[in-house]
Structure 1
Amino acid sequence: MQDEVVNYFLELISIDSESGDERAIIDRLKADLKALGVKVEEDDAYVLTGGNAGNLYAQIPGNLNKKPILFCAHSDTVKPGKGIKPIVKDGIIYSDGTTILGSDDKSGIAELITALKEIIESGEKLPPIEVLITVSEEVGLLGAKHFDKSRLESAWGYALDTHQVEELVIGAPAQNSIQITFLGKESHAGVEPEKGINAIRVAAEAITAMPLGRIDHETTSNIGLINGGVATNIVPNKVEVKGEARSHNHSKLEQLTSDIRHCVEQAVQHFQYDFGGASFDWKVNLEYEAFHIQESEPVVQIAIDAMHRIGLTPKITIGGGGSDANIINASGLPMIICGTGMNKVHTLNEEIEIEQLLKGKEFLKALIRRYAEL
């Protein structure tokens, strides 16, 4: 007989919830939390995210006189995430290879809600707990950005959104999103190409010169999307390029962003003629700020102690991606990221070990019990 956390996880991943289309999963989670006797509210973040469901915020009052602790996970998945058909084999859960599995982040949700259920039903002393299930995390942390963080009363929090259960991520970078529109001059490619300015070529020269990939141990950049051109017989006059720059160091992030812009300016200058010249439009947006929490801080030490109690060996790491923890930390509430067992996420080869789901549930119960002792 499978543990409840496994069965619950399999149920959750069978509910389609690609970013922006999370109505069904939010309705299910709202009902499941209410069934635990928990006060649950849904906000109107969908008005600003463009989705069809809001964030869920739940409060468990507990019976100990102390500040709450916060647990956060997100309900959306990346694409392709519709019609997920799980395969359980040799202690591992896979998708059938036509979709992602959805363990990012339904493993975190399954572990959290089953842990809460078991610890509430045990009748033991509970600290106050806040639960935040965000929407549209995978498309820019939109749910967390539009949630009213002033409602949070917790001393600190845990985002359940990284890989192996033993991992504790205590830092993550800031990210600038970059959008560049290269403008050239349209002409007939076969009749008078010399009267055109090929925006694709301008963009190519700029991208070739850009510092991309791993810049140093705390800084990266990438160009991920290019769109332009109408037909092969038309010299294209417009190309849109989207990329990003990330760093744990704000000064490095600003310098890298400036260096990328300089490459654009230099490339555009190469395409200036008597009949006209190339130009560009530049947009940069700080998607989220970096955070770093010292290992000595209580939010980290409590998690370490909880792991030791159930025989796990914590691995303290610094992350390279953004998560809801970036947004929560920026609001002034310390939050680290805990692993849930997810593996090969955002791919058709995504998988999760059943043992990790079990460990994740037990870790959260141990974490709540350890906090109750403070």
Structure 2
Amino acid sequence: MQNIIDRFIGYVKIDTQSDASSKTTPSTKKQWVLAHKLVEELEQIGMQNVTIDENAYIMATLPSNVDHEVPTIGFISHFDTTPDFSGTNVNPQIIKNYDGKDIILNKEQNIVLSPQYFEDLLLYKGQTLITTDGTTLLGADDKAGVAEIITAMEYLIKHPEIKHGRIRVGFTPDEEIGRGAHKFDVPAFGAEWAYTMDGSQIGELEYENFNAAEAKMSISGKSVHPGYAKDKMVNAIVVANEIVSRLPKNEVPEKTTDRDGFFHVHHMNGEIENAEIELIIRDHDRTKFEERKLLLEHIVQNLNKSYNDCITLKIHDQYYNMREKIEPVFHIVEIAKEAMQAIGIQPIIKPIRGGTDGSQLSFMGLPCPNIFAGGHNFHGKYEYVPVESMQKAVKVIVKICELTAKK
């Protein structure tokens, strides 16, 4: 247990926050610090063909130890953390034998991690939890996944009696800003399929995610003295409000769940002359996804007739539901499911209400379901990870490698 605790804490203390406004890869120089540390560690544990490219994408190989043909498989995690909350000076707290009660993260600021609000805590009574100190995020998303992959590879190297084929591992920057797979060299990785270790609760196994698009609208108004504005003024703020009011009121994140899609207005500002709206469109169903984009286009077209073409709309597809690419090779999900069951974990198979590097990688030719890494409450001060969940994730990786060699 202490090995993975030390490894994980060593990672989270390095600030790797990414930056969506940056044009470089990685988006922040500080990501290089952990990237170089990971390269050194992979070499130290005995991995071969350890590489890091000019964009900080890391790859390494564990050679096969069987004499028959086995598919090359991979395991992938990202080492950046979200720009949504501070990742500077992370000070993890270790809670041994959790008693099921409130955890005081920060006494001075009265920040409490409570099972009355975060009910999942009660699943881990008696276990060892790693939490924040209430002032930063933790970084289990996805440094838990990184720690699990490296620990699993180290275990396989130390236990050659466990038979496996050729294993590839990959660590990426900038996943949290949607760019984690953008410069991932799938041919160089050379795996038939892979798994991202980037899920949450123990048992999660995911091969569906949203189809996703972003939309940006610019509205050009006309400012006229309000006393003489009749039939002359076009108030861009009013037009922006009218656009939002025509979206389905119940198809928003706070009113949807499971496979429900939504529109999410996340940015809106303006004055009389100019206004801007930014929103995202999400749906698991590809047909409904396309219908949502058409609805937005129709809203804009109709309002442009009333307001003399003052609205400009741009829609950009971000990623698609990886189920489309994974269903034809569904045995890769079955292997992960069997691995979990073999070590006493009940698989929780559900759609991701979000995206994953695995989605983009699947459409780049690398089918890539997502497996739990164990953390909870990502992207904020209440983030925590049970150590036992990380240990189980290591065992799942090892078992997948073992089962693949038997197929």
The 2-side partners of 1:188 and 1:40 are apart by 67
Deviates more, 1:180-189 or 1:323-332: 180-189
Structure 1 unpaired stretches of 5+: 46-53, 230-235
Q: Equivalent of 1:75, from 37, 56, 79? A: 79
Equivalences for residues 206-245 of structure 1 within 5 A: 206-211=243-248, 212-213=251-252, 214=256, 217-229=259-271, 236-245=272-281
The 1-side partners of 2:275 and 2:40 are apart by 47
* CA displacement 1:309-353 (0-9 Å, x = unmatched): 211111222222111111111123222100111111122211111
Q: Does 1:105 align with 2:166?
A: no
* CA displacement 1:112-168 (0-9 Å, x = unmatched): 11111111112233310111111111111x131222222232222111111112111
Q: Does 1:255 align with 2:291?
A: yes
Letter in structure 2 aligned against 1:58:
A
What's the offset of the Cα at 1:24?
Answer: 1.1
Matched position secondary structure for 1:347: coil
Equivalences for residues 37-116 of structure 1 within 5 A: 37-38=46-47, 39-45=49-55, 54-64=56-66, 65-79=69-83, 80-89=86-95, 90=98, 91-116=128-153
* CA displacement 1:271-306 (0-9 Å, x = unmatched): x3xxxx461221111111212134982211211221
Equivalences for residues 362-373 of structure 1 within 5 A: 362-373=395-406
Q: Considering fraction of residues, name the structure with more strand.
A: 1
The 1-side partners of 2:298 and 2:89 are apart by 45
The 1-side partners of 2:359 and 2:59 are apart by 18
Structure 2 unpaired stretches of 5+: 19-26, 99-127
Equivalences for residues 1-374 of structure 1 within 5 A: 2-19=1-18, 20-21=27-28, 22-38=31-47, 39-45=49-55, 54-64=56-66, 65-79=69-83, 80-89=86-95, 90=98, 91-124=128-161, 125-140=163-178, 142-187=179-224, 196-211=233-248, 212-213=251-252, 214=256, 217-229=259-271, 236-270=272-306, 272=307, 277=308, 279-292=310-323, 293-294=326-327, 297-374=330-407
The 2-side partners of 1:122 and 1:220 are apart by 48
Matched position secondary structure for 1:171: coil
TM-score (norm 1): 0.88
What's the offset of the Cα at 1:67?
Answer: 2.4
Matched position secondary structure for 1:127: coil
Letter in structure 2 aligned against 1:41:
T
The 1-side partners of 2:131 and 2:245 are apart by 38
* CA displacement 1:6-58 (0-9 Å, x = unmatched): 1111111100001122111111111111112222212234xxxxxxxx21122
Question: 1:232: which partner in 2?
Answer: none
What's the offset of the Cα at 1:192?
Answer: 6.1
The 1-side partners of 2:290 and 2:374 are apart by 34
CA RMSD for the aligned pairs? 2.1
Letter in structure 1 aligned against 2:62:
I
The 2-side partners of 1:113 and 1:120 are apart by 11
The 2-side partners of 1:95 and 1:295 are apart by 41
Change (3 A) 1:188 1:129: farther
Contact 1:182 / 1:278 at 8 angstroms: preserved in 2?
no
The 1-side partners of 2:70 and 2:329 are apart by 21
Letter in structure 1 aligned against 2:13:
S
What's the offset of the Cα at 1:187?
Answer: 4.7
Identity of aligned residues (%): 28
The 1-side partners of 2:17 and 2:242 are apart by 36
**Aligned residue-pair number:** 352
The 2-side partners of 1:193 and 1:348 are apart by 49
